[in-house]
Structure 1
Amino acid sequence: MKSNKFEGISLAVGGSILWGISGTVAQYLFNNFVITPVWIVGVRLLFAGLLLVTISTLQNGKAAWQIWRNKADRRQLIAFAVFGMLASQLSYFMAIQAGNAATATILQFTGPLYIIIYLAISQHQLPRRIDAISILVALTGTFLLVTKGHLNSLSLAPLAVIWGLLSGVSQASYTLIPRSLLQKYDAKLVVGWGMLVGSIPFLPIVATQVPHSFAGPELVAIGYIIIFGTIFSYLFYLQSLNYIAPATTGMLSSLEPLTATTLAILLLGVKMSGIELIGSILILATVFLQALPVKSANKEKTISNG
């Protein structure tokens, strides 16, 4: 059992690190090549979705198409693809282009804040004490990150802040919309179809805005984002849920922004002040605060951030 737990932790850590690296790789692409976030998101969703659906079909046969036969499930899957998968991927990569990988990834982690607010409104009850503390901590952290503590100025470009916060909102949608689907179908199937359907609006751009010439580093970076930053990172995360509780994987997912921030500072010359780092830590702390009340027996099926 101990070895299984170690394997689960290793998989969750590995998936989070691979996601974090993909954000830095994306910033490298945007800084050095003529590649748009829209094109890379379309390519990422298309090829990762195709592979996940293929894997699920090989494992489950015709059952992999069952999700399309139920009208309610079909509608929910399309909503997840558009307002969850497509929106979260596009807003995240736009935030990277407008700012940097470090702040984009950290602002994406405000997602739990919007989930708390949504659940409180939909269930007509005040947030729990730990939720209220999480909201306060997340808002304080976001304020410090985007203003460096000065009310009259922004340390980030307005577009970087807007896209970063939208990535947090869409991350909440990504988590909330497919909950009932995940109770009925394999998570690889739900996410694979979500990626594939989410790629459809991008297909004309993917086909017509192909870079004229692919240099070696450019190809490697794009390949990394699709293969390791999407497919393997997700599969590692999903596999980890077989060995450890979702609350544990949630805490370990904080390695994603930590990785993105460290690499952006070391390799891409991104600079963060002490105040910004404190704000980042406060935002990430909400992940741990939300995990505190969760009992280890909780086996609710979840999907990842990346």
Structure 2
Amino acid sequence: MTRLEIQNDNKIKGMTLAIAGPLLWGFSGIAAQYLFANYNVSPYWLVCLRMLGAGILLLIFGLIVSGRQLFDVWREPRQVIRLIIFSLIGMLPAQLTYFMAIHYSNAATATILQFLSPVVIVIYLALRQRQMPTRVNMMSVVLALVGTSLLVTGGHFNELNIAPAGLIWGLLAAVSTAIYTLYPRPLLRQYGSVSIVGWSMLLGGAATLPLAVQHPATQMDLRGLLIVSFVIVFGTLFAYLFVLQSLRFIAPTMTSLLGAFEPMTSTLLTVLFFNVAFGLPELAGIILIIATTVIQAIFANRRVNKIRNNPRA
């Protein structure tokens, strides 16, 4: 194969993996909604099993791939504290708020509201740096606000067409995902994604054990167990691994763009399996919210290319 053919082949591999991960996350949200509706499963119980199961499996994978390096983070007390903080204020809230939003609304609405996290990051950085956002970021904020208003009101701005609890948990999911994105960057650079994600899932899952014990699943059968297994293995473990592996072949900005397949998958499957009707205002809101992520990814890609072409820029 020529060099160009190898590059094209790698790009196809990367894009396939970057699409497969969000697709599995989308199916995972639908599976969770099915469990909530048909098995009286508590979000606490499902999140606990999901994080413990996926955390253990990720760590086993990391041990096979990197060996003893998997335990490097535990050799530095300061980093251990950062890992625990990330597990409790980043990983755990991001998982729990998302599933609580599904429980009180539906998988599509929860996923789309979670996709507001780039806007939360824009607002946070503007406040922290004490400067006005750029025009692109301001446009993203406006699109997100309009899109969210259309999604949760259906165009009737004097009333909500989703449960208030679903809206609150969805917005908290966006904030939690922003924290999950920003806080662990130094840890990820030093120890790798598999190690940090695996350990934080294990710690976060352990922290939810008391809540899971108080809200056990009492109506589980073989089908339910298979769906739970799907959420853990495919909707979490393989979804994370596919996205992480895609970064070997394509740029992070491309991976972020292809992440839009998650809300699109959730929306389509919610309509097909749960007969949830989205009118034109809600669909317009969905498109505007997804557009904010696409705009942010494109802008980030241009900024990276500008720096590469002109390091002094």
TM bin (shorter chain):
over 0.9
Question: What's the counterpart of residue 15 of structure 1?
Answer: 21
SS of the counterpart of 1:156?
A: coil
Q: Which amino acid aligns with 1:179?
A: R
Question: What's the counterpart of residue 51 of structure 1?
Answer: 57
Shift of the alpha carbon at 1:214?
3.0
**In the alignment, structure 1 residue 263 sits paired with structure 2 residue 269:** yes
**In the alignment, structure 1 residue 162 sits paired with structure 2 residue 168:** yes
Shift of the alpha carbon at 1:207?
4.8
Structure showing the higher helix proportion among its residues: 2
Question: What's the counterpart of residue 308 of structure 2?
Answer: none
Shift of the alpha carbon at 1:266?
0.5
Shift of the alpha carbon at 1:244?
0.6
Aligned counterpart in structure 2 of residue 26 of structure 1, from 32, 47, 56? 32
Aligned counterpart in structure 1 of residue 285 of structure 2, from 252, 255, 279? 279
Q: Is the 8 A contact 2:246 2:255 kept in 1?
A: yes
Question: What's the counterpart of residue 303 of structure 1?
Answer: none
Name the CA distance, whole Å, in 1 between partners of 2:92 and 2:28: 17
| Residue deviations 1:96-135 (CA, integer Å, cap 9, x gap) | 0100111000000000011011111222222111111000
Choose 146-155 or 39-48, whichever is displaced more: 146-155
Name the CA distance, whole Å, in 2 between partners of 1:57 and 1:208: 33
Aligned pairs for 1:243-258 (under 5 A) are: 243-258=249-264
Choose 71-80 or 25-34, whichever is displaced more: 71-80
**In the alignment, structure 1 residue 78 sits paired with structure 2 residue 78:** no
Question: What's the counterpart of residue 100 of structure 1?
Answer: 106
SS of the counterpart of 2:299?
A: coil
Size of the aligned set, in residue pairs, is 299
Q: Is the 8 A contact 1:245 1:298 kept in 2?
A: no
| Residue deviations 1:71-92 (CA, integer Å, cap 9, x gap) | 3312221121111110011000
Q: Which amino acid aligns with 2:53?
A: F
Q: Is the 8 A contact 1:111 1:172 kept in 2?
A: yes
Q: Is the 8 A contact 2:45 2:217 kept in 1?
A: no
- In structure 1, the gaps of 5 or more residues are 300-306
Relative distance call for 1:124 and 1:275 in structure 2 (3 A) is same
SS of the counterpart of 1:292?
A: helix
Q: Which amino acid aligns with 1:284?
A: I
**In the alignment, structure 1 residue 36 sits paired with structure 2 residue 27:** no
Shift of the alpha carbon at 1:269?
1.2
Q: Is the 8 A contact 1:142 1:279 kept in 2?
A: yes
Shift of the alpha carbon at 1:205?
4.1
Aligned counterpart in structure 1 of residue 178 of structure 2, from 169, 172, 178? 172
Name the CA distance, whole Å, in 2 between partners of 1:183 and 1:168: 23
SS of the counterpart of 1:229?
A: helix
Choose 172-181 or 196-205, whichever is displaced more: 196-205
Aligned counterpart in structure 1 of residue 245 of structure 2, from 239, 243, 258? 239
| Residue deviations 1:180-232 (CA, integer Å, cap 9, x gap) | 11111111001001101111122234456543453222112101100000000
Choose 234-243 or 68-77, whichever is displaced more: 68-77
- In structure 2, the gaps of 5 or more residues are 1-6, 306-313
Name the CA distance, whole Å, in 2 between partners of 1:83 and 1:183: 19
Q: Which amino acid aligns with 1:66?
A: D
State, as a whole percentage, how many aligned pairs show the same letter.
Answer: 45
Q: Is the 8 A contact 2:15 2:246 kept in 1?
A: yes
Moved over 6 A (4+): none
Question: What's the counterpart of residue 157 of structure 2?
Answer: 151
Relative distance call for 1:75 and 1:242 in structure 2 (3 A) is same
SS of the counterpart of 1:282?
A: helix
**In the alignment, structure 1 residue 199 sits paired with structure 2 residue 199:** no
| Residue deviations 1:284-304 (CA, integer Å, cap 9, x gap) | 0011110222237959xxxxx
**In the alignment, structure 1 residue 90 sits paired with structure 2 residue 96:** yes
